[in-house]
Chain A
Amino acid sequence: MAGAIWVLGESKGSDLARVSAEVATLGSALGAAAGLDVVGVVAGASPDGLAAEFARYLPLVHSLAVPEAAETAFASAVGPSLAALVEREQPAYLLVGATSDGRDIAGILSVLLGWGVIANASAILWQDGRPEVEVSILGGKLLTTSVFTGQHGIITVRPTSVTAEPLASRGSVVPVTVSPEIALPAVTVVSRVAEESEAVPIDEARVIVCAGRGVGGPEGMHLVQALANELGGTVGASRAAVDSGWIPYSQQIGQTGKTVKPRLYVGLGVSGAMQHMVGMRTSETIVAVNRDAEAPIAEVADLVVIGDLFAFVQALISALQARST
């Protein structure tokens, strides 16, 4: 199917990453607007299970077996096979989530195929016979539109840009094989460690309760976690809280951490350093709880609570519990 739009599916643990389902939904809308077929591709050591899951969102999914991916780093293992498949099937555009694996794959495919990359899309329109990609830049201050100068390109899509919608009926999975002419240097995977967590990853979370310096320490973190539990959310943190060792780096929001776009962001004792705000400014609703009425986070908030963090959060948890009983 030359000229199609391809969507790359990736795993999180043994499941389909939610961002992949979202990108499939985004790609389907783009394909409908463009009059182009939309095809899923899942590459991996044994991709069939993931491909079947991906087919809930797309009418056709290629399942590309790359045995090396079992024991070597993912992007370097599957990159040459994906590039060979693209060269054979000639799709026009590739879409992939702006995740760690997605970005690694995009960078590798870009040079192997000679295709440009537009990164961190929040929306994609079809205009004048090509994709017009909307990107939120400078920490959400500006929205830009970008286009490819050629006939092909790779677009990485930010998590939570759209809500994933399964198809009415499951699509089909077609196993494919290729023999790539090149290989990239193998990187051995010595071990894979899954850290058990029931919480949704921070960049996919719909509700985030974020701890700032004002939380004060581990005791305060318990309160942050309790509010997150009550709201059905994930705990995030500013760099100050991560540097203090209260919470792992994986939960950090901001310039050198994750960029998030939840429906609800609640900042507890977060003053709003620019390096933090560039990572959360585009959240749909922002609530800031702070002792200091002049804290910069007020500039981006919808609701500001001024007062003692601990007394307020305890009262809020009680009020939420009273409401649900």
Chain B
Amino acid sequence: MRIVVLAKPVPDAGQERLRNDFRMDREATTEVINGNDEYALEAALKLVEASPDGGEVVLLAMAPDHAQETLRKGLALGAASAVLVTDPALEGSCALTTAHVLAAALRELSFDLVIAGVDTSDGGGGVVAAGVAALLGLPYLSYAARIEPSDGRVRVRRITPNGYEVLEAPMPALISATQALGAPRYPTLKGIMGARRKEIVIRTLADLDLAGARARGVEVGGAAATARVTGSRPRAPRGTPKVVQGSPAEAAQEVVTFLAERRLI
């Protein structure tokens, strides 16, 4: 079983900042592997460990060069190697062009499954994985709470707004992962030491075959982004909260009055 995990380095929650050009500041803060991608990685590691013929997990990211540090964290958890697509021209890429770049990078890799988190904590659009699957002609099984491969096919329990559905498709396939797959493991000291020796393959735009994108009339890179942010403003602060203390009955009465004033009850 060979699995590629799309692992996006993102600023740690609460530390994100926008630069003056409204792009995410990726230099100033510590980065981590996006939370939902960590669930993807954990699920992938478990599948490989359970596979009778072994296999390995490879990380794939499109990010600035310094994201190598963050990818090492995934290597420390057990991924065998990583591919980092990095190029100054990719800064400011939109979801569409990102999907094309990731698809081009995946065309050079062999895999039974690609697993990605359902969305990222920085962009949060949750559309790139579906786009990659459509570009590569891979069956797309999203919002996975359970992944069960067998005999060249894979079954996924997909979370729906009112329950779940069980999906099945032949491999190779692309799956989007939710937290319901299970918590990621912690790195061991051995894992952290071993990660230093694992390979991170660097690919620039010039290394990728983007004929597929061009055939669809799509140029990649920040300059060709299909959408851009033109402004930002902080949300108006709420002000100091009203604090209620005292006996439960008194506090309850104060809260009822507060809710009634706001016409919430």
Hey, which bits of chain A sit against chain B, CB under 8 A? 12-13, 17, 73, 75-76, 79, 98-100, 103-108, 110-112, 114-120, 132, 136-150, 153, 156, 184-195, 197, 201, 207, 231, 239, 242-243, 249-250, 252, 255-257, 263-264, 274-275, 278, 282, 285-288, 293, 298, 300-308, 311-312, 314-316, 318-320, 323
Query: Residue among B128, B227, B253, B256 with the most chain A CB within 10 A?
Result: B227
Q: Give Cα A138 to B218, complex, Å.
A: 29
Assess whether A111 is in contact with B96, with CB atoms less than 8 Å apart: yes
Asked if B192 lies at the interface with its beta carbon under 8 angstroms from chain A, I say no
Asked if B35 lies at the interface with its beta carbon under 8 angstroms from chain A, I say yes
- For B251, give its contact among A139, A243, A278, A312 (CB under 8 Å): A312
Q: Give Cα A301 to B155, complex, Å.
A: 43
Number of A-B contacts (CB under 8 A): 287
13 other A-B residue contacts (CB within 8 Å) besides A100-B159, A104-B140, A306-B243:
A76-B140, A106-B130, A110-B131, A116-B94, A120-B124, A142-B18, A185-B169, A201-B162, A252-B179, A256-B35, A285-B264, A315-B249, A323-B256
Assess whether B167 is in contact with A138, with CB atoms less than 8 Å apart: no
Q: A116-B96, A148-B227 are in contact. Are A191 and B166 (CB under 8 A)?
A: yes
Asked if B160 lies at the interface with its beta carbon under 8 angstroms from chain A, I say yes
Q: Which of B43-51, B105-113, B229-237 contacts A (4 or more CB under 8 A)?
A: B229-237
- For B165, give its contact among A79, A108, A148, A193 (CB under 8 Å): A193
Assess whether B139 is in contact with A139, with CB atoms less than 8 Å apart: no
Q: A111-B134, A185-B138, A191-B166 are in contact. Are A139 and B36 (CB under 8 A)?
A: no
Assess whether B178 is in contact with A256, with CB atoms less than 8 Å apart: yes
Interface of A is mostly: mixed
Q: Give Cα A76 to B137, complex, Å.
A: 10
Assess whether A119 is in contact with B125, with CB atoms less than 8 Å apart: yes
Contacts of B255 in A (CB 8 A): 287, 303, 305, 316, 319
Assess whether B126 is in contact with A103, with CB atoms less than 8 Å apart: yes
Q: Give Cα A192 to B168, complex, Å.
A: 12
Q: List 27 A-B contacts (CB under 8 A).
A: A100-B159, A103-B130, A104-B130, A107-B134, A108-B133, A111-B216, A115-B96, A140-B235, A146-B227, A153-B227, A184-B133, A191-B166, A192-B166, A194-B163, A195-B163, A242-B179, A255-B35, A264-B264, A275-B13, A287-B255, A287-B259, A303-B241, A305-B255, A306-B244, A312-B252, A315-B249, A319-B255
- For A144, give its contact among B141, B166, B232, B253 (CB under 8 Å): B232
Contacts of A286 in B (CB 8 A): 238
The chain B residue with its CB closest to the CB of A312 is: B248
Contacts of A293 in B (CB 8 A): 243
The chain A residue with its CB closest to the CB of B245 is: A306
Interface of B is mostly: mixed
Assess whether A116 is in contact with B238, with CB atoms less than 8 Å apart: no
The chain B residue with its CB closest to the CB of A18 is: B161
Measured CB to CB, the closest approach of chain A to B230, in angstroms, equals 5
Asked if B228 lies at the interface with its beta carbon under 8 angstroms from chain A, I say yes
The chain A residue with its CB closest to the CB of B243 is: A304
Q: Give Cα A112 to B130, complex, Å.
A: 11
Asked if B16 lies at the interface with its beta carbon under 8 angstroms from chain A, I say yes
Assess whether B252 is in contact with A319, with CB atoms less than 8 Å apart: yes
- For A188, give its contact among B126, B162, B167, B249 (CB under 8 Å): B167
Measured CB to CB, the closest approach of chain B to A92, in angstroms, equals 14
Assess whether A190 is in contact with B168, with CB atoms less than 8 Å apart: yes
Contacts of B251 in A (CB 8 A): 305, 307, 312, 315-316
- For B95, give its contact among A110, A137, A189 (CB under 8 Å): A110
Q: Which 4 A-B pairs have the closest CB atoms?
A: A116-B226, A107-B130, A119-B125, A107-B127
Assess whether A119 is in contact with B95, with CB atoms less than 8 Å apart: yes
Contacts of A264 in B (CB 8 A): 259, 262, 264
Contacts of A302 in B (CB 8 A): 238, 241-242
Q: A100-B142, A274-B13 are in contact. Are A144 and B22 (CB under 8 A)?
A: yes
Q: A139-B13, A201-B162, A274-B14 are in contact. Are A304 and B131 (CB under 8 A)?
A: no
Assess whether B178 is in contact with A145, with CB atoms less than 8 Å apart: no
Measured CB to CB, the closest approach of chain A to B7, in angstroms, equals 14
Query: Residue among B100, B155, B229 with the most chain A CB within 10 A?
Result: B229
The chain A residue with its CB closest to the CB of B218 is: A114
- For B96, give its contact among A76, A114, A147, A191 (CB under 8 Å): A114
Assess whether A250 is in contact with B179, with CB atoms less than 8 Å apart: no
Q: Give Cα A319 to B123, complex, Å.
A: 43
Assess whether A116 is in contact with B227, with CB atoms less than 8 Å apart: yes
Q: Give Cα A305 to B260, complex, Å.
A: 16
Contacts of A117 in B (CB 8 A): 94-96, 125, 127, 226-227
Q: Give Cα A197 to B217, complex, Å.
A: 46
Measured CB to CB, the closest approach of chain A to B148, in angstroms, equals 11
Q: Give Cα A110 to B159, complex, Å.
A: 23
Assess whether B253 is in contact with A195, with CB atoms less than 8 Å apart: no
Q: Give Cα A100 to B126, complex, Å.
A: 8
Measured CB to CB, the closest approach of chain B to A71, in angstroms, equals 11
Q: Give Cα A303 to B137, complex, Å.
A: 51
Contacts of B166 in A (CB 8 A): 189-193
Contacts of B164 in A (CB 8 A): 192-193, 195
